[in-house]
Amino acid sequence: MMFVPFLASILWMGWSGGGKHFEQPPDQVRASLKQASVPLHVLGSYVMGSRVTTPDDNTIVTALLDENHNELMRFVTTVEADGTGSLVDTEIEPPQGENAERAVEAMKKQGYAVSLLALVADEHVAAAIEKRPFNMLAMNPAANAMIGAMPDAASEVESANRAADEWSRSEQGSYAAPSAVSGWGDETGSSADDWGVGY
């Protein structure tokens, strides 16, 4: 079984998509990421929700959780001032807890899947900061550029992204993650599959 259906088997420790500049100041970026919903519609049925923590003033950790609130993996985002805006960088890191060892082993073998997952993480972060739905074409830059040049198709894609975002938020409304130490925490989800977690 697979955790991320179209991403194959998963991650690579510390994989980073590279920093990106955003016009929003760091405080606003951090606030947006703390409140963001993860895109369940592209993360697969094992992801039931997420927990957001802030280990320090510049770091936001989004842990994806299974139905038992165990971590499956992490998006770790650092936010630094960059002029009047922010420099934002997100890395894929292994989970903490019972799935950690199996996840690390799986991460070492899946370079292509990890590169796709890095795109998912970067788009999740960008969508949260820019306050828009997750763009499902972000994993295919060529198709995204082509659709962008076709107004009718772009409108249809935008509608599909909005509908998927609404579904994801609705699904997450039925799942309550334990509150994190920082006081942030509830996100939500769907049902079951994985890259090393068996029931």
**CB-neighbour burial class of residue 186 (10 A; exposed 0-12, middle 13-18, buried 19+):** middle
Query: What domains does the chain contain, in order, with CATH numbers?
Result: 5-172 (3.30.530)
pLDDT tens digits, residue range 113-142? 777 778 889 999 999 999 999 998 887 777
Task: Give pLDDT tens digits for 6-52.
Answer: 333 333 344 455 689 999 999 999 999 999 989 988 888 888 889 99
Residue 192 reports pLDDT greater than 70: no
Please say if the pLDDT value at position 85 is more than 60: yes
Would you call 15 helix, strand, or coil by DSSP? Answer: strand
Report the alpha-carbon distance of residue 172 to residue 149 in Å, rounded.
33
Is the Cβ–Cβ distance between 138 and 17 less than 8 Å?
no
Burial class (CB in 10 A: 0-12, 13-18, 19+), 4: buried
